[in-house]
Structure 1
């Protein structure tokens, strides 16, 4: 049986490297796959690979090249086959209007990126455990 995986839509190479380290050391039962821009994420959502094996959740930055994270979230929530996948905005921004827009577009959670590796190491496993283990997502779209 394949391990569950999380899709991270993130363009910051430093953040990706830190997240990879946390997944490797603290969340070994879950894989992570990275996509570095909004357009590539949407292209991936349309692939058979994605349809056959969707992620348990999507971690998405807002400030992405080519198409921002809120535009990608809007796309996801308007596509029947992917609309129930939990999307967690993980952003360095704490702007109230972005938080409001995240929830208005159907985002499941908004988390400000931890500022230190120690904080990331403490918070990311909790976020992933909740969305991959405790949260009960529908098995299909109704």
Structure 2
């Protein structure tokens, strides 16, 4: 189908999404990435709810919120945001009583996207993507993108892949693996999210500080966490700058140029 009016008629804030993604071709590619990731994400969200693991639950609904916001799924983003806030407050009662609303809206969006695309990504596509993401062979000037959102990963790849090799780390643990691989001289800058599973962004910053790596790799923060406390804590480390989501292509280009310029 791929009729933009179909999305608009079903409540998708396409105009706002295109301010970030730029054109429908990129938007459509990003929708496929969303489909490939959302099933695993919702499964993990359910597991964290059932195990009463509110910290990791909050991280994943935050990620779902960000993806939904990027793609113009405003209602899903709003629902996920409520779950993020309440799970951070360890309000398990709210999470349990309102979980079906989150699941149903996510399922509605998946159905909508499938109808729009006229296809369903296969498990094989997801498997190939996961396997290829773990390869690391830095041969050119590189940008290290540390973000658990596949949408953000692909957006940054679209903007900068003509000038830099884009190295993706989906969480802090993968970022540390990259840093320990011996290619730091080729990494021109790191773009770091703060809210991630396993090892979070602040733990990565602490690792960089402890190993004197801020002098080797300039770092800027790109995050949806914009509280005064978070901003103050982030700038207690020698980062170059901080950009809060959502943002525009121009603002991302500006912060990358500023950060790369600090490479010694």
TM-score by length of 2: 0.44
More relative contact order, 1 or 2 (CA 8 Å, 6+ apart) = 1
What CA distance in whole angstroms lies between the structure 2 residues aligned with 1:54 and 1:128? 15
- Segments of 5+ residues of structure 1 without an aligned counterpart are none
What CA distance in whole angstroms lies between the structure 2 residues aligned with 1:64 and 1:95? 16
Map residues 103-122 of structure 1 onto 2, 5 A cutoff.
103-115=235-247, 119=248, 121-122=249-250
The offset of 1:57, in angstroms, is 0.9
Runs of 4+ in structure 1 over 4 Å off: none
Corresponding position of 1:131: 259
Superposition CA RMSD, Å: 1.8
- Segments of 5+ residues of structure 2 without an aligned counterpart are 1-138
Aligned residue among 149, 155, 158 for 1:18:
155
Structure with the larger helix share? 2
2:199 is the alignment partner of 1:62? no
Structure with the larger strand share? 1
What CA distance in whole angstroms lies between the structure 2 residues aligned with 1:36 and 1:89? 15
Corresponding position of 1:9: 146
Q: Could you list the per-position Cα deviations for residues 63-104 of structure 1 after superposition, in whole angstroms to 9, with x for gaps in the alignment? A: 111011011011101103x23121111001211111111111
Map residues 44-63 of structure 1 onto 2, 5 A cutoff.
44-48=178-182, 50-51=183-184, 53-63=185-195
CA contact (8 A) 1:61 1:89 kept: yes
What CA distance in whole angstroms lies between the structure 2 residues aligned with 1:75 and 1:103? 15
What CA distance in whole angstroms lies between the structure 2 residues aligned with 1:112 and 1:79? 26
TM-score by length of 1: 0.78
The structure with the largest alpha-carbon Rg is 2
Number of residue pairs the alignment of both structures matches: 125
What CA distance in whole angstroms lies between the structure 2 residues aligned with 1:96 and 1:88? 17
Corresponding position of 1:91: 223
Instruction: Provide closer, same or farther for how the CA distance between residues 30 and 38 of structure 1 changes in structure 2, counting only shifts above 3 A.
Output: same
